Amino acid sequence: MTEFTPLASLAGGGLIGLAAVLLMAFNGRIAGMSGILGGVIPPLASDWAWRAAFLVGAIAAPAMILAFSDYAIGFDSPVPTPWLVIGGLIVGVGITYGSGCTSGHGVCGMARLSLRSICATLTFMASTAVTVFVVRHVLGGF
């Protein structure tokens, strides 16, 4: 079971939205993590520097929270590691065929009222619901 943390969740969501707006305002780019990451994997995109800075910030911010506060970020998964790796590969295939991930489509695309992003996000959410149902109720769950 997860904890109910509305204030931390609201703050985190607000910071994600702020980062997306600032990236669009100053760089004219959508804050889709898969697209940003893809630009720093060889062959490098011509604008790889801002992409690398964005990714460093996404990693450094939680590291700084851990280093300078008593807040702990817990991770406990009942799912075996090979299943997590397989799930990650499936997600990678999905974002390739979907031309983006939930951050690009769900946060930025839906905010722009993009029909393509709305359809993509609905597909992501429906796929998630079906996957959870199958894993928990058909396969016996974890």
Are residues 105 and 30 in contact, defined by beta-carbon separation less than 8 angstroms?
A: no
Q: How confident is the model at residue 40 (pLDDT cuts 50, 70, 90)?
A: very high
Composition of the chain by helix, strand, coil, percent to 5: 70, 0, 30
pLDDT digits (tens, 9 = 90+) for 53-107: 999 998 998 899 889 998 877 778 888 889 889 988 988 888 888 888 888 888 8
Q: Which two tokens stand for residue 41?
A: 């994997």
pLDDT digits (tens, 9 = 90+) for 93-119: 888 888 888 888 888 888 889 999 999
pLDDT digits (tens, 9 = 90+) for 9-34: 899 899 989 988 998 999 888 888 88
Q: Which two tokens stand for residue 69?
A: 């506060």
Tell whether the torsion through CA atoms of 111, 54, 15 and 127 is positive or negative. Answer: positive
Does residue 122 have a pLDDT over 90?
yes
Q: How confident is the model at residue 2 (pLDDT cuts 50, 70, 90)?
A: low
Q: Assign residue 2 a region (left: φ > 0; alpha: ψ between -120 and 50; beta: otherwise).
A: beta
Helices assigned H by DSSP within 28-114: 33-38, 48-68, 81-97, 110-111
The pLDDT value given to residue 49: 93
Does residue 132 have a pLDDT over 60?
yes
Are residues 66 and 72 in contact, defined by beta-carbon separation less than 8 angstroms?
A: yes
